[in-house]
Amino acid sequence: MDIMSAEWIRNTAISIAIIVVFLLSARRLTPKQKTVVLNSMGVVLFLTCIYNPLHTYMSGNFSLAVDLPLHLCGISAFICSIIPFVKNKQGLFDFVFYTGIIGGVMGILTPQMSDYDGSFYVYFVYYIRHVFIFIIPIFMLQNFGLKPRKKSMVRTFLILNLLLVVLMPFNFYIGGNYMYLAEPPQVNNPLVIGEWPYYIFWFEVFVVLLLVLLYNLSKISFKKNVCPTV
């Protein structure tokens, strides 16, 4: 999908509108309603995490190099799908607050549907997943009193680099490109500078800047009608 094409403008505008309307409207909900909404989003994401690879496998098109949920957005989607149901949410929140927001934004603004088969389902689910992984961390920050802890930036950066160390040889072994560590994404992404491996260094720089930015934005206070974290 070409950036600034009519399709891109339409999809981006709809995604932003859904995010803004949802987050503004959610503040009017009761604590019980907010919990139901959070759980519902988690269930939807979990179903897509299960159904997508299963459907690909059953159709005979499954490939280890393409269809494992090992892109950052896939990892974030899985975490967002289970975080409503775990008792201790803080550890997961410290990570997915950053990866969900960053992955959601990049997925919406620079869409790359590597598994697109021409069906409306794949097209629709792609945007639902990226909108949800963006919304859920902000929704929890806004309504459940969760905030990333002071050392969350460092932990997230270390985890991302641990994933890099593990996935880079794995990609080379199976011929994959998870987390775009084997070659840059085939989209017009302003954060992609240079060819392999130089663009990975710039990814690291941009990630640090985004972690710092998001951590400081997380200090915004949302005190009205905050749900207990359970």
| 196 within domain boundaries | yes
| 12 within domain boundaries | yes
Q: What is the pLDDT of residue 37?
A: 97
| 226 within domain boundaries | no
User: pTM here?
Assistant: 0.90
Per-residue pLDDT of the chain (230 residues; tens, 9 = 90+): 677 789 889 999 999 999 999 999 998 999 999 999 999 999 999 999 998 888 888 888 888 998 899 999 999 999 999 999 999 999 999 999 999 999 999 999 988 876 666 677 788 889 999 999 999 999 999 999 899 998 999 999 999 999 999 999 999 999 999 999 999 988 777 778 888 889 999 999 999 999 999 999 998 765 555 565 55
| 115 within domain boundaries | yes
Distance of alpha carbon 21 from alpha carbon 26, whole angstroms: 8
| 227 within domain boundaries | no
The domain in which residue 136 lies consists of 6-217
| 184 within domain boundaries | yes
Whether the Cβ atoms of residue 8 and residue 1 lie closer than 8 Å to each other: yes
Find the DSSP H helices in 30-89. 31-58, 72-82
| 127 within domain boundaries | yes
Domains in the chain: how many in total?
A: 1
Whether the Cβ atoms of residue 164 and residue 177 lie closer than 8 Å to each other: no
Rounded alpha-carbon distances, angstroms, from residue 219 to 5, 8, 96, 138: 36, 32, 16, 12
Distance of alpha carbon 73 from alpha carbon 71, whole angstroms: 5
| 113 within domain boundaries | yes
